[in-house]
Amino acid sequence: MTRKVRVTVTADATSLDAGRRAVQEGEYASLSEWVDAAMSRQARSDARIRALGAALAAYEAECGIITAADMAAQARADSAAAVVVRGQRRRAA
């Protein structure tokens, strides 16, 4: 089991209300559990963002900086290659 540490924080009232509501609705056993889950999600998200930044930096170091024109060209290619799974493909007017 992970060691728990008591801390004091200042939080936005709206966030605190959301946590209390989650506890009242039985989603979490306590506000501490809700805060711990939120901090864990944020830590995972931050790690993914750092990894994505590192991957992008490595790609650009090898292949050059990605430009707005590169992104626009890729968006057009992605759109053209997309498979419509619901509805019909829009036709150019």
Write the DSSP assignment of 25-82 as a string of letters: TTSSSSHHHHHHHHHHHHHHHHHHHHHHHHHHHHHHHHH-PPPHHHHHHHHHHHHHHP
Query: Other CB atoms closer than 10 Å to residue 31's CB: what's the count?
Result: 13
What's residue 93's pLDDT?
62
What's residue 31's pLDDT?
96
pLDDT, tens digit (0-9, with 9 covering 90-100), for 4-27? 899 999 999 999 999 999 999 999
Model-level pTM greater than 0.85? no
What's the alpha-carbon Rg for the chain, to the nearest Å? 22
pLDDT, tens digit (0-9, with 9 covering 90-100), for 22-65? 999 999 999 999 999 999 999 999 999 999 999 999 999 999 99
Residue 51 Cα to chain centre, angstroms:
12
